């Protein structure tokens, strides 16, 4: 009898751990939310970290470097906007499909 109690406690503990793991996993699959700001580097970070130019060159802000940075920034911002639009379309489609799935007698069930 005592052996059954131990086994039940182990199964209960296992079930709790699994449900917590499932909840954490479920949250990690949630669609990413668009933030108010994007993650575009500043000129200094772009120059030093991405391009790996010496700090003296970055401090001088040469016209060619500034133009290249502006192209990078425009591309990164456009990509960010596309990602936000894609996430919104995906969410809208998911909500539409969820509404249709909840109606009894809808095709595809």
Band the pLDDT of 4: cuts 50, 70, 90: confident
Q: How many domains does the chain have?
A: 1
Residue 81: give the domain boundaries.
40-102
Candidates 37, 34, 41; CA nearest to 73 is: 41
Q: Which three-class secondary structure state does DSSP give residue 107?
A: coil
Tell me whether residue 12 is in a domain.
no
Average pLDDT score, the chain: 81
* Residue 77 pLDDT greater than 70, yes or no: yes
Q: Is residue 75 part of a domain?
A: yes
Q: Which helix (H) or strand (E) holds 63?
A: helix 63-102
The pLDDT of residue 105: 60
pLDDT tens for 43-61 read 999 999 999 999 999 999 9
Would 60 be classed as within a structural domain? yes
* Domain-located, residue 32: no
The answer as to whether 92 is a domain residue is yes
Could you tell me which residue, 60 or 23, shows the higher pLDDT? 60
What whole-number percentage of the chain has pLDDT above 70?
A: 70
CA–CA distance, 50 with 47 (Å, rounded to integer): 6
- pLDDT at res. 102: 66
């Amino acid at each position: 009898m005592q052996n059954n109690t131990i086994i039940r406690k182990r199964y209960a503990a296992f079930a709790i751990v699994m449900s917590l793991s499932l909840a954490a996993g479920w949250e990690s699959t949630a669609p990413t939310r668009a933030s108010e700001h994007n993650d575009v580097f500043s000129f200094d970070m772009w120059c030093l970290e991405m391009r790996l130019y010496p700090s003296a060159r970055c401090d001088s802000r040469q016209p060619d470097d500034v133009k290249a940075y502006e192209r990078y920034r425009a591309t990164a911002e456009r990509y960010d906007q596309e990602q936000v639009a894609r996430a919104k379309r995906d969410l809208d489609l998911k909500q539409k499909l969820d509404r249709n799935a909840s109606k009894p007698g809808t095709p595809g069930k």
